[in-house]
Amino acid sequence: LTAASNVTQAPHVLVLLPTYNERENLERAVSAIFVAQPSFSVLIIDDASPDGTGELADRIAAEDSRVRVLHRAGKEGLAKAYLAGMRWALAAQPHFTHVFEMDADLSHDPGRLGALLSACIDDGADIAIGSRYVRGGGTEGWPWRRRMISRGGGLYAQLILGFAVRDWTAGFMCFSRRSLEMLLDQPIWAVGYGFQIEMKYRAYRLGLKLREVPITFIDRTAGESKMSKRIFVEALRLVWRLRATVRKSLPS
Ligand SMILES: Nc1nc2c(ncn2[C@@H]2O[C@H](COP(=O)(O)OP(=O)(O)OP(=O)(O)O)[C@@H](O)[C@H]2O)c(=O)[nH]1
Ligand SMILES: [Mg+2]
């Protein structure tokens, strides 16, 4: 080993923020990210929100060079939006070493960005997962009915996909560039929410190192949830397809 090979590359971090009708939340979400992590960059991925979130995103980007916007023609689901952002980062932005997934509705605390990044950089994880269901994690502001649905869905996923991950549906994550390259090298089936489960299961089967970091998920106080029955049913079916089809492979 030469001395040079021990020098670690300084992290360059991109946060992907998908938005659909988040006009009331977006500005606060972006500034809170920069309060916590001034050196990060943000890519807002807007699906032509009817409430004008896209125009707001352009205004934010015009005032801050750390912010970029990807406008998409219409609402095609969370998976397509994230995949577009990830492909943009991989194809056109070679300097980014880590890419985050994060909600734009203030449910994910930017104060945890550092802990997630550290799990990748200092603890050698390929993917860090902001988890509600490990010690120290939880949810805040959810009515019991919402908690039951989340916990029930989580247990369902665990029974079918196993206990390698506690919070299969988590949407606050940090990916190393290498892990994203490996994941996007294969087809991704999910359209909606199931995307979160699919990315984790494929990563696990690829032999990537996943690490859960506790977070407290805070219920949105403004705007509306995009969770639909169709997306929920898609996720319920998807886990079976993943289990039956995605085989274990050795990391390259
Ligand atoms: N671009 C894009 N963003 C989306 C789409 N669906 C959801 N989002 C965004 O993805 C993030 C998560 O969606 P939410 O509706 O908050 O889903 P959730 O957090 O599971 O549900 P709540 O707890 O009710 O907020 C938010 O920032 C949404 O605006 C979509 O089809 N396209
Ligand atoms: Mg939300």
Contact 83, 55 (CB under 8 A): no
Pocket test for ligand 1, best of 71, 78, 102, 142 (most atoms within 8 A of CB): 78
- Greatest distance between any 2 Cα atoms in the chain: 57
> How many whole angstroms from 143 Cα to the centroid of ligand 2?
14
Size of the chain, expressed as the number of residues it contains: 252
The total of other beta-carbon atoms located within 10 Å of residue 136's CB is: 10
Task: Give the Cα separation of 250 and 246 in Å (integer).
Answer: 13
Q: Residue 225: its pLDDT value, please? A: 87
Classify 224 as helix, strand or coil.
coil
Tokens 């050795």 identify what position? Answer: 250
CB-defined site of ligand 1, < 6 Å: 18-20, 22, 45-47, 75, 77-78, 81, 103-105, 107, 220, 225-227
Q: Residue 150: its pLDDT value, please? A: 86
Q: Whose CA is nearest to atom 25 of ligand 1?
A: 225
In the structure, ligand 2 is a single-atom ion and the residues with CB under 5 Å from it are 103, 105, 107, 220
Alpha-carbon distances, residue 79 vs 27, 32, 76, 85, 176 (angstroms): 23, 24, 8, 10, 18
Q: Residue 149: its pLDDT value, please? A: 87
Both tokens assigned to 115 = 């802990």
> How many whole angstroms from 214 Cα to the centroid of ligand 2?
17
Which atom of ligand 1 is found nearest the CA of 21? Answer: 29
> How many whole angstroms from 3 Cα to the centroid of ligand 2?
45
The structure's pTM equals 0.94
pLDDT in tens, the chain (252 residues): 444 544 567 899 999 999 999 999 999 999 999 999 999 999 999 999 999 999 999 999 999 999 999 999 999 999 999 999 999 999 999 999 999 999 999 999 999 999 999 999 999 999 999 999 999 999 999 999 988 988 898 899 999 999 999 999 999 999 999 999 999 999 999 999 899 999 999 999 999 999 999 999 999 999 988 888 888 899 999 999 999 999 877 555
Q: Whose CA is nearest to atom 12 of ligand 1?
A: 103
Q: Residue 2: its pLDDT value, please? A: 47
Contact partners, residue 94, CB within 8 Å, separation at least 6 = none
Which atom of ligand 1 is found nearest the CA of 47? Answer: 1
Task: Give the Cα separation of 49 and 83 in Å (integer).
Answer: 18
- In terms of phi and psi (left: phi > 0; alpha: psi -120 to 50; beta: otherwise), the region of 206 is alpha
Task: Give the Cα separation of 214 and 170 in Å (integer).
Answer: 11
Q: Residue 250: its pLDDT value, please? A: 58
Alpha-carbon distances, residue 122 vs 108, 125, 206 (angstroms): 22, 8, 21
Q: Residue 248: its pLDDT value, please? A: 77
Tokens 């998807």 identify what position? Answer: 238
